[in-house]
Structure 1
Amino acid sequence: MYKYDEYDQSIVEARVEEFREQAERRLSGELSEDQFKPLRLMNGLYLQLHAYMLRIAIPYGTLSSRQMRMLAHIARKYDRDYGHFTTRQNLQYNWIKLEDAADILAELATVEMHAIQTSGNCIRNISSDQFAGAAADEVTDPRPWAELLRQWSTFHPEFTYLPRKFKIAVIASEEDRAAVKLHDIGLQIRRNEAGEVGFRVFVGGGMGRTPMIAPLIRDFLPKEDFLSYMEACLRVYNRYGRRDNMYKARIKILIHELGADEYRRQVEEEFLHVKTLGLDPPAGEFERIAAFFAPPAYETGLPDEIDLSDPDFASWVEQNVHAHKQPGHAIVTISLKPVGGIPGDASSAQMDLMADLAEQYSFDELRVTHAQNIVLPHVAKRDLHTIWKKLDAAGLATPNLDLVSDIIACPGLDYCSLANARSIPVAQKIAQRFASLDRQRDLGEVKLKISGCINACGHHHAGHIGILGVDRKGEENYQLSFGGSGAEDTSIAKIIGPGFSEDGVVDAVEKALETYRELRTEGERFLDTYRRVGLAPFKEAIYG
């Protein structure tokens, strides 16, 4: 993984001291909250319902055991002994005191971490495939390109005050594990017919109030033009983005109004100019970055067989373990979705354990997934049973990846000042309703996602089943949507009808899934059946 040089470190340390002085001025009353707000947001600090929330950047979801231990330490010392992993591959602390914020950032800086550009109208944390560098189906490791984007975008003077926040994702597989078409810019690394590496460029996706799937803007962008083209894409947006109306300030709205063809034309025109500016790094600089992502020193000749005589272990392997490009190795997903738990939360003790496992069994590397789980990317198959036993003892071995209890949920009205309804209790009740692992496995892949407001931090638009909490005359009401996907078959979920109470939406989900069981054909997921038969039979079962 990437290691800071003296420039990275000095930038982060300078930002910490700058923010320390700003926080002290707020605490003394020299700055009002209105004056302090843009300063704290530039450092990932939000004022939520009950306390400050601090969002920590985890670029492209990759972190070391040392960094995970620091996150555990901060949870113990400054928060309530836990952290919340997010859909942007970041981590949030929900109970921060303002007087501690600068000290937290200073401690993070000692392990090459920060909260820069985790908030505000700037280019946010670059996300990527959680299996990057390990997946058998990738063209190349996408993380060096994500790191190049991180360095280019950090404190970019032209893009520090964009019309709205801006999110970029990079993958290198046909299977989309990062929802690239639902990003402001989504990049898919591929090879052309000549075998050259380049990018398929999607621009103008997003969720929130107006969900849209990004159109294809460039089918093949040569890698030599990568940064210049990104610069051109952002320049056109920055030039025309609606700063007069925050609801129309996203690039998806601009492209919708201009049309993809006209946006493409303007980007290509701008690109011809930008290319003359020398923004694209020399090959040697990219090679320097890529060297940090060299494959680990895998042990060769390891057995590929796994003893699955223990049925509980076998269930976990089947659901939470994926194929690795290196023989004798596997990718392990650690579920942060125990039945009755809060999706994405991990205690300091659990974080310490995951750090220990990464150090001992996964070449000192962990990944955060956009589905709010944790990955050990490089595990020898011979060690799987030992890892499972240790995870099981810590409540981290729930074998439910991509099943109905593997729910994405935002913090909702329990924490967030923007939320209209609670997300966490709904997620817990659904997981408890489907607590039987046999029942979950019979239902198969069901991606259920819950948001507590229209901002869609729980990605409900991309759920096979999506739930949106709204305020209806002072009461929490939950809208149910079907048919979304954040994978390579990207689609936006459709609202099925009138909303429900908290308990009512749990009942509705159960009725929908029982209807699916009755209607499915061999091998069909819930999403496949819904797409084949349409809404009518589900609506009839739910509403009568």
Structure 2
Amino acid sequence: MYQYDTHDQTLVDQRVAQFRDQVARRLSGALTEEQFKPLRLMNGLYLQLHAYMLRVAIPYGTLSAAQMRMLAQIARRYDRGYGHFTTRQNIQFNWITLAEAPDILADLSRVQMHALQTSGNCIRNVTSDPWAGVAPDEIEDPRITAEILRQWSTLHPEFSYLPRKFKIAITGAPSDRAAVRVHDIGLRMHRDDRGEAGYEVIVGGGLGRTPVIGKTIRPFVPKRHLLSYLEAIMRVYNSFGRRDNMYKARIKILVDAIGITEFRDLVEAEWTTLRETELDVAPETYAAIAAHFAPPAYEALTGTVAEAADGASDAVLARWIRANVAPHRVPGHGIVNVSLKGTDQPPGDATASQMDLLADLAEHYSHGEIRVTHEQNLVLPHVRLSDLPALWAALEAAGLGTPNVGLVSDIIACPGLDYCALANARSIPLAQALTRRFADMDRAQEIGELHINISGCINACAHHHVGHIGILGVDRHGEELYQVTLGGRSDEQAALGKVVGPAVPADRAVDLIAGFVDTYLAIRQPGERFIDTVARVGTTPFKETLHAAA
């Protein structure tokens, strides 16, 4: 894991002191809320329906055990005993008092964490593949590049006040586990004909009010030149992005307005002035960052995840291994995906006790490392297969052993109207109702891979546009309704879902989704997943299900 140097620590400590002074002036009345708002947002502090919410950055989704323990301490001391892991690989605390916010940031700084640029019109937390560094199909660990981008973008003097917020995602593998095509900039690692690693650069993706799949602006940029190329993109966006209308200020609107060809020409022209300058990352600089991500000292072991499942002494354990443990690049090891989607658990929530336990388990079984996924789950990336029974028993006892990763009850949901001032409808109760409806694990396995995403408003924090089944909360004359889309996906074949009909009230939503699943099971061909069936037959059979249930 990356460790702060003196510069990093000084910067974070100074920001804590600055924010402490800003909060004191707000509490004294020296600053109005209007004056204070941009200051608190740049430190990750939102004013929600009931209290302040603090969003803590987890760069590229990587946590140490000590950092997880600090998050547990914050949840216990300053919140109501839990935190919410998000699709941005961050964590949010929903019940923060303004007076205590600086103390939280000071506690975070002691374990090399912060909340900088988790809000505001700046480059937000760079996200990445939660299996980075351990996935068998990976070309190189993308977290090295993500860390370089973090250092480049933090308090960048030109890009701290962009036309709108800006999000970057990176994957180092052919399989896209970072949803790169629905970000402002998406990066996919490839090798060129000489075997050199570099990135395909994708621009103009995004969800929210105007969902767009990003377009490839350059099929290959060598790692050395990536930073200068991204700087060129950001300069063009900063120069030409709209600032008169927040709904038309994202880079996707600019790319759509002028076209990808003209946008590329502008970027290439800008790049000529930046390439072969100090913005190019020298090999020795890249190597120095890469040293922080050197793999742990794995034991020389044998065995596969499939063999571990087949040899499990307990049928429930075998089911968990097949659902939640992925193959590792090192024999005898597995990537353990910890579901935060239990029957009675709001998606993405973890209690302070659970976070403490995960820190302990990470130290004991995973070389002290934890990852956060954009599906709102957690990952222990370095587990010996021989340790799976003991690890599963500990997770199961803490309500974290649900064997549903990637299945129908592994639901992504935003906080919705229970917390968020922007939401039109509740997301959490619907997610919990669907989880209970699909709690039968035998049936869930029969259904197979199926991703349900629920957003409480058009801002799409739960990425509903790219859910196999996407659910959007809408308000109609004070009534909470849910609009359903089908066929979305966020992988390397990213696509936006299609609306299947009018929005339905909450008391019909669960039965409707169950009806869609029944329709899929009735018409699927052998080996087809839900998303494959929708791609083959379209939405017509599902529209018929909707109308029949009306």
TM above 0.5, yes or no, is yes
> 2:47 corresponds to which residue?
47
What are the within-5 Å matches in structure 2 for residues 516-531 of structure 1?
516-531=520-535
Could you tell me whether the CA contact under 8 Å between 2:469 and 2:484 is conserved in 1? yes
Match of 1:92, SS state, is strand
Secondary structure of the residue aligned to 1:275 is coil
Distance, in Å, in 2 between the alignment partners of 1:41 and 1:5 is 26
C-alpha contact (below 8 Å) 2:501/2:546 kept by paired residues: no
Q: How far is 1:281 from its partner? A: 2.9
The whole-number CA distance in structure 2 between the counterparts of 1:301 and 1:10 is 42
Residue in 1 that maps onto 2:292 = 292
Aligned-pair distance for 1:242?
0.6
Letter in 1 for 2:121: N
Letter of the 1:82 counterpart: Y
Match of residue 105 from structure 2 = 105
Question: CA separation in 1, counterparts of 2:325 and 2:303?
Answer: 16
Q: 329, 349, 355: which one pairs with 2:353?
A: 349
Q: Which amino acid aligns with 1:24?
A: A
| Cross-structure match for 2:83 | 83
CA positional deviation for 1:132: 0.2
1:291 is displaced (CA, Å) by 0.1
1:490 corresponds to 2:494: yes
Paired residue secondary structure (2:274): helix
Asked whether the equivalents of residues 303 and 382 of structure 1 are also in contact (C-alpha less than 8 Å), the reply is: no
Structure 2 counterpart of 1:541, which letter?
Answer: T
Q: Give the number of aligned pairs.
A: 544
Aligned to 1:135: 135
Give the match for residue 240 of structure 2. Answer: 240
2:28 corresponding residue in structure 1: 28
Q: Deviations over 1:349-401 (max 9, x none)?
A: 00001001111110110000000000000100000010000000000000000
Note the C-alpha offset of 1:301: 3.1
Structure 1: how far apart are the matches of 2:281 and 2:531?
43
- 1:125 CA displacement: 0.1
SS of equivalent residue, structure 2 residue 480: strand
Q: Secondary structure at the match of 1:4?
A: coil
State whether residues 225 and 281 of structure 2, in contact with CA within 8 Å, keep that contact through their aligned partners in structure 1.
no
| Separation in 2, partners of 1:12, 1:162 | 22
User: Contact 2:121/2:162 (CA < 8 Å) preserved in 1?
Assistant: yes
Deviation at 1:157, TM superposition (A): 0.4
Residue aligning to 2:186: 186
* Paired position in structure 1 for 2:201: 201
Q: Is the 8 A contact 2:128 2:142 kept in 1?
A: yes
Describe the SS at the equivalent of 1:146. helix
CA distance in 2, matches of 1:287, 1:405: 41
Task: Tell me how far apart the structure 2 counterparts of residues 387 and 208 of structure 1 sit (CA, whole Å).
Answer: 38
Please say if residues 169 and 186 of structure 2, whose CA atoms lie closer than 8 Å, have aligned partners that are also in contact: yes
Deviations 1:257-311 (A, max 9, x none): 1111111111111000122542123222211110000011001134444232310
Range that drifts further, 534-543 or 462-471: 534-543
| Structure-2 residue corresponding to 1:329 | 333
Distance in 2 (CA, whole Å) between partners of 1:405 and 1:493 is 19
Alignment match, 1:466: 470
Return the alpha-carbon distance in structure 2 between the equivalents of residues 285 and 276 of structure 1.
15
Output the amino acid matched with 2:436. Answer: Q
Q: Distance in 2 between matches of 1:277 and 1:241?
A: 25
Residue type matched to 1:140 in 2? E
SS state at 1:88 partner: coil
Q: 1:379 aligns with which of 372, 383, 391?
A: 383
- One-letter identity of the residue aligned with 2:484: L
**1:444: Cα distance to partner?**
0.5
For residues 537 and 170 of structure 2, what CA distance do their matches in structure 1 show?
34
Paired amino acid for 1:250: R
The structural deviation recorded for 1:495 is 1.0
Counterpart Cα distance in 1 of 2:473 and 2:463: 12
Identity %: 61
The one-letter code matched in structure 2 to 1:218 is: R
Letter in 2 for 1:188: R
| CA displacement, residues 136-158 of structure 1 (integer Å, 9 cap, x when unaligned) | 00001110100000000000000
Whole-angstrom CA distance in 2 between matches of 1:276 and 1:443 = 53
> Aligned-residue CA RMSD in angstroms?
0.8
Please tell me whether residue 478 in structure 1 is matched to residue 482 in structure 2.
yes
Q: Secondary structure, in 3 states, of the residue corresponding to 1:274?
A: coil
Q: Could you report, residue by residue, the CA deviation over 1:224-281 in whole angstroms, capped at 9, with x for unpaired residues?
A: 2111000001111111111000000000010011111111111111000122542123
The residue number in structure 1 matching 2:62 is 62
In structure 1, distance between residues paired with 2:278 and 2:439: 57
Cα distance per residue 1:446-495 (max 9 Å; x no partner): 10000000000010001000000011011101001101000111000111
Say if 1:340 and 1:429, in contact at 8 Å, map to a contact too. Answer: no
1:449 partnered with 2:449 = no
CA offsets per residue over residues 391-423 of structure 1, 9 Å max, x none?
000000000001111000000000001111110
**Which string of whole-angstrom CA distances, capped at 9 and with x for unpartnered residues, describes residues 150-189 of structure 1?**
0000000000000000000111111100100000000011
Q: Secondary structure at the match of 1:292?
A: helix
Deviations 1:12-47 (A, max 9, x none): 000000000000111111111111100000100000
* In structure 2, C-alpha distance between the alignment counterparts of 1:228 and 1:277, rounded to whole Å: 8
Separation of aligned partners in 1, 2:343 and 2:446: 17
Matched, 1:366 2:370: yes
1:311 to 311, 315, 321: 315
**3-state SS in 1 of match to 2:170:** strand
Please state whether the residue corresponding to 1:522 is helix, strand or coil. coil
- The SS at the match of 2:359 is helix
SS of match in other structure, 1:189: strand
Q: Which runs of 5+ in 2 are unaligned?
A: none
User: Cα offset for 1:505?
Assistant: 1.2
- In structure 1, give the amino acid aligned to 2:173: S
Task: Check if 1:219 corresponds to 2:219.
Answer: yes
Greater mean deviation of Cα atoms: 293-302 or 482-491: 293-302
Verify the 8 A CA contact 1:136 1:324 in the aligned structure 2: yes
Q: What's 2:254 paired with?
A: 254
* 1:426 corresponding residue in structure 2: 430
Q: Which amino acid aligns with 1:29?
A: G
Determine the C-alpha separation between the residues in 2 that align with 1:363 and 1:151.
25
Task: Determine the C-alpha separation between the residues in 1 that align with 2:283 and 2:20.
Answer: 38
State the Cα distance separating 1:507 from its structure 2 match: 1.1
Find the residue that maps to 2:509 and give its secondary structure: helix
Distance 1:218 1:237 in 2: 16
Cα distance in 1, alignment partners of residues 381 and 439 from structure 2: 27
Q: How far apart are the structure 1 equivalents of 2:215 and 2:281?
A: 27
Q: Establish whether residue 414 from structure 1 lines up as the match of residue 418 from structure 2.
A: yes
Q: Which amino acid aligns with 1:254?
A: L
The 8 Å contact of residues 146 and 170 in structure 2, kept in 1 or not, is answered as: yes
CA distance in 1, matches of 2:387, 2:439: 28
Whether 2:539 is the aligned partner of 1:542: answer no
Letter of the structure 2 residue corresponding to residue 79 of structure 1: D
Letter in 1 for 2:521: R
Asked whether the 8 Å contact 1:46–1:53 carries over to 2, the reply is yes
Match of 1:393 among 380, 397, 402: 397
TM-score (norm 2): 0.98
Partner of 2:152: 152
Q: Secondary structure at the match of 1:131?
A: coil
Is contact 1:302–1:380 with CA below 8 Å preserved after alignment?
A: no
C-alpha separation in 1, matches of 2:233 and 2:279:
14
Name 1:116's counterpart in structure 2.
Answer: 116
The match for 1:405 is 409
Distance in 2 between residues matched to 1:95 and 1:156, nearest whole Å: 30
